[in-house]
A and B are shown apart, each in its own frame.
Chain A
């Protein structure tokens, strides 16, 4: 008897898999319907499809764009006309950064208020950067500085990667 029951095991497994798949598909379809329906009726809905690029985002906030091109940034760098602010963590900064850049980690910005931010001249030109197309640290830092009354702040999107790719001057532990 027992043997007969266990010979049913494969059928039971298939039955369970079929059940699982049906229920899972139903749950997924229901959540798709709910997600889309709620977004259609809620007042603060978001577009279903949106272009996600950092340049657009920087341009959207305030008329003129916060972003600065690599050419402009390198020109300012060559003339020593801008101070570069590295918004990444200290550990990342220590592993390598744009030459003469000042470290101002966004996640610990409170700790750097007196030692760094208070020493900066609000009239000077600043370029914030971090790493990666989508990195928001430099953007958030730039917005904070603007709120604090700094007038000339720009963001070099994907700064660290771009800078390295173009073999521009960096400071690394070995150099």
Chain B
């Protein structure tokens, strides 16, 4: 019985750290170029044609820092509840935006990992990649919850049972 519990815990832990580190790389890598080139990224945001003009620059200024902070939280394993939930929401938003613009056939560059307009247009492959990241971040958010509640349950059980 303890053996079984151990292997379950190991799987959870491995899954947790694997998804955590994958999303760390994704967010850190995605944030750098956009922070360096806010003007190019603003153009990329504008090209998506989903925001009113006055919000374009603010989004282009803040979003990369949000990505950097999320990547940092995930890297150092801090504020994981908030960071993992935000990561999942952000990925859901990206998937939504890309789907929307693929559906209406807009020929725009992704602005995902590079702010440069010659990154190449968004394709079904871009969408597939982001869906994969969305699945990773949802898994991570779920694992954060499972681990947190299990910890609390175990402490409670020990206190009450013992």
Number of interface residues of A (CB under 8 A): 50
Within the assembled complex, what's the spacing in Å between the Cα atoms of A130 and B153? 60
Contact with B along A1-28 (1 / 0, CB 8 A): 1101100110011001001111111111
The answer on a CB contact under 8 Å between B69 and A46 is no
A88 at the interface (CB under 8 A from B): yes
A47 at the interface (CB under 8 A from B): yes
B99 at the interface (CB under 8 A from A): no
The answer on a CB contact under 8 Å between A2 and B58 is no
Number of interface residues of B (CB under 8 A): 46
A92 to chain B: which residues have CB within 8 Å? Answer: 105, 107
B62 to chain A: which residues have CB within 8 Å? Answer: 31-32, 35-36
> Which stretch in A120-128, A131-139, A162-170 binds the other chain?
A131-139
> Which stretch in A50-58, A62-70, A77-85 binds the other chain?
A50-58
| Contacts from B to A (Cβ < 8 Å) | 35, 38-39, 42-43, 46-47, 49, 53-54, 56-58, 60-66, 68-70, 73, 79, 81-83, 85-86, 105-108, 117, 120-121, 145, 148-149, 152-153, 156-157, 160-161
